Amino acid sequence: MSLRRKFCKPRYLVLLLFALYIFVSRPVPTPAEQRPDQRPPNLNFSSVVQELGHTRSIEPGSLTAVLPVTLTSLTNLLTTLDPLLSPPSCVSKVLLVCPESLLSQARAVVRQAVRSSPEASNHPDVLLYPWPGDPTVAVLHAATQSTTEWMLLLDETGLGAVSARTRDALTCPVTADLPVGPRGVIGSPSNWSCAPPSLETRPALYLLPPFTLPGSLVQGHHENWSDLGRAVSQSREDQLGGVVRSFGDPDFNWCNDGRQYSTPTTDPTLLASSQEDPNSLFVILLPNINDLRFIVPLVCRLHNSALSVKILLYSESRVTSEEDIFSGCQFQYDTIWSTERLVSSMIYDWLDRMGRKADIIFTVSEPATQSLRSEHATIVRIPRQDLEHVHWMGSLSLVEWKNWHVPQLEVNIITQDRPQSLERLLGSLSQARFFGDSVSLRMNMEQSSDLETIRVVDAYQWNHGSVFTHRRVVHGGLLTAVVESWYPHSNDSYGLILEDDIELSPLFYAWIKMGILRYRYGRARNETAQLFGISLYQQKNVELHLEGRKALNPRALFANNHFPYPSTPYLSQVPCSWGAVYFPEHWREFHAYLAERLSELTMELERVVVPDVRSNHWTKSWKKYFIELVYLRGYVMLYPNYPDFLSFSTNHLEVGSHVKDRPKEKLEVFRRPLMDLSVSEQLLLDLPGETLPRWDVLPVLNLTGVLTSLEKIRVVN
């Protein structure tokens, strides 16, 4: 255990008395304090911003976080410590500044935090540092004691109120020679204001925690945050006290001047749900309080958006709540208690009393609400057993909810003579959650399919929609089998193409639906014509180099290139054949292209369309031709980018028409861990700002895994 105890030494006792002496009658500093006017800073801010964009992240292990603990913050200390102790982060040391009276309690919490920290052997050291009185002074003083090159200064809420993206930027900051953080005071000393969230980086008079800075800047004595900012600005030619970088994320109520900054000025789509029309009404109808508890994170998220949310529990014997507190958020609900026969009329009454029409009605599939109809509202009925897996829906915007029933998924399985593989795939399909949606299934058997395969197909029970089985009479081969396995019948029909050696995650449908609703039906829907599909499978290699397979680690690649959130999903031109959804327009176009290409009317079959890619040597491969189309058109596919390459599909690489042998090493190259239900709540939303990013900020990789942009790949042809 690397928890070191550093207290009750005489040195601290002296400091303690000294501090008491100084701070007994000091007023609490606020950013609102006006300072005597100085000459306006001579800013050349553009060069600072340019530098910030180009600098590297600091070395791992070179950052000390300083966190004050107060009587009120002690209760949440365990939660507050968590992001500081969890990888990935550059924090090597956490200094907890804490009044003597709270030391033993703080120590107990630290022990617990260290014990439950995910990488027990490799977490930062946690040191307790006794200091009485004002937490700001305590932090500024403790910071002078640390020896690491970089400091992260916090207030008692730690990183609790900032977005995941900002949190990442703070726990592994760029090497800037001045304070950088999301909260700051801007303007001139005589006319200052708190910086509202913005996508732009802005010059600041001084910053408020949390922010990072080089350790050398806190070496002197500083009274308060503005004092530190002034010292920084006086040491610089450009007179900057720091820079504000909030990535446009909303941040609540941090500014002591009483104003609230919840809506960013420049970034409406990234924060789809916080920009909703407050006149929109989202209604939740559930049987009872236990059902409600399952979806608390979803309800909290809806509450934080501007939507009005009304909740009715229609077979709950407890009385209507004033305002119940659920883990971390407060909301009201109404209750009724009635016989089953009368429930639906009572629900209609309750809806009428709302005085306006609901836009969305979220409920469970149950007899009591099955007959519910609405001309205006989109009714979303979730099977009760899926309720505990709906957290991801909190990322949906109103327009995405309204399109809930529009996209139709068609699952297409291609099989020949691997009945065990097919059984495993079908088994994983049965385990998947479809959230009440109807999904059709088509199973395509080759002419050479064996009796056992046909038996498995016959015996399979599909409970989510129609089943269609198809068997060839003339052998077609894999190219024909895949390409002909699906043809869209409308622009809202989506084809999931699965060969039988694939296995699915139970959450694959949530990932698909979240992506389709966001990029095909959300606000960006008119900008995403280049998107041809969504992969369930996470790439770990680039297959298309002429020299052979090369490792790819998107998270590391994005981090090295200073993407603010390296765990963002991304776009890649590579079509995935190991579990992916294809979009109707692009698949239709592919059919047309392939027919033309194979007919050899306009070019000979051997013609190289994409220069210098390995797929040119593939024969009888549908993917080779899809790669050509993608290259000619500048198309891209959306890929997940969860930790440890967690995926929604994996490939077992079994002997088949393209695979002749399967050495163990090769197997491991292709297998991925599947995202399972037990971790779903946290992980599906492990996304920048817990939502799928805005279309135009997604990183783009070309066919050989090089970072590029949508504009660049569009002009190829």
Residues interacting with ligand NAG, by CB under 6 A?
29-30, 33, 44, 46-47, 50, 187, 191, 223-224, 226-227, 491, 523, 525-526, 585, 610, 613, 702-704, 706, 708
For residue 340, the minimal CB distance to ligand NAG (Å) is 42
DSSP-derived secondary structure letter, 151: E
Distance CA(220)–CA(701), nearest Å, equals: 46
- SS3 state at 582: strand
| φ, ψ for residue 405, nearest 5 deg | -90, 0
For residue 363, the minimal CB distance to ligand NAG (Å) is 28
Closest CA to 118 of 79, 152, 87: 87
Between 29 and 436, name the residue whose CB sits nearer to ligand NAG: 29
Between 237 and 322, name the residue whose CB sits nearer to ligand NAG: 237
For residue 606, the minimal CB distance to ligand NAG (Å) is 19
For residue 685, the minimal CB distance to ligand NAG (Å) is 24
For residue 272, the minimal CB distance to ligand NAG (Å) is 12
Neighbouring-strand partners of residue 582: 495, 533
DSSP per residue, 1-62: ---B---S-HHHHHHHHHHHHHHTTPPPP-TT------PPP---HHHHHHHHHHPPBPPTT-
Distance CA(619)–CA(189), nearest Å, equals: 70
Between 86 and 616, name the residue whose CB sits nearer to ligand NAG: 616
For residue 399, the minimal CB distance to ligand NAG (Å) is 8
For residue 563, the minimal CB distance to ligand NAG (Å) is 17
Q: For the chain, how far is it from start to end, CA to CA, in angstroms?
A: 60
Between 283 and 542, name the residue whose CB sits nearer to ligand NAG: 542
Alpha helical stretches, state H, 529-663: 554-560, 584-599, 622-633
| φ, ψ for residue 150, nearest 5 deg | -125, 150
CB-side neighbour CA atoms (13 Å) of 194: 23
For residue 440, the minimal CB distance to ligand NAG (Å) is 19
For residue 607, the minimal CB distance to ligand NAG (Å) is 16
Between 107 and 523, name the residue whose CB sits nearer to ligand NAG: 523
Between 18 and 348, name the residue whose CB sits nearer to ligand NAG: 18
Distance CA(494)–CA(437), nearest Å, equals: 14
**8 Å CB contact between 537 and 675:** no
Between 609 and 697, name the residue whose CB sits nearer to ligand NAG: 609
Task: Tell how strand 570-572 and strand 636-639 pair up.
Answer: antiparallel
CA 504 from centre of chain: 21
**8 Å CB contact between 179 and 212:** yes
CA torsion 183-187-190-194 (nearest 10°) is -30
Question: Who's near 705: CB < 8 A, 6+ residues apart?
Answer: 539, 542, 544, 550, 552, 572
Between 117 and 539, name the residue whose CB sits nearer to ligand NAG: 539
Between 72 and 191, name the residue whose CB sits nearer to ligand NAG: 191
Closest CA to 332 of 341, 342, 323, 345: 323
For residue 146, the minimal CB distance to ligand NAG (Å) is 22
**8 Å CB contact between 418 and 453:** yes
Between 207 and 298, name the residue whose CB sits nearer to ligand NAG: 207
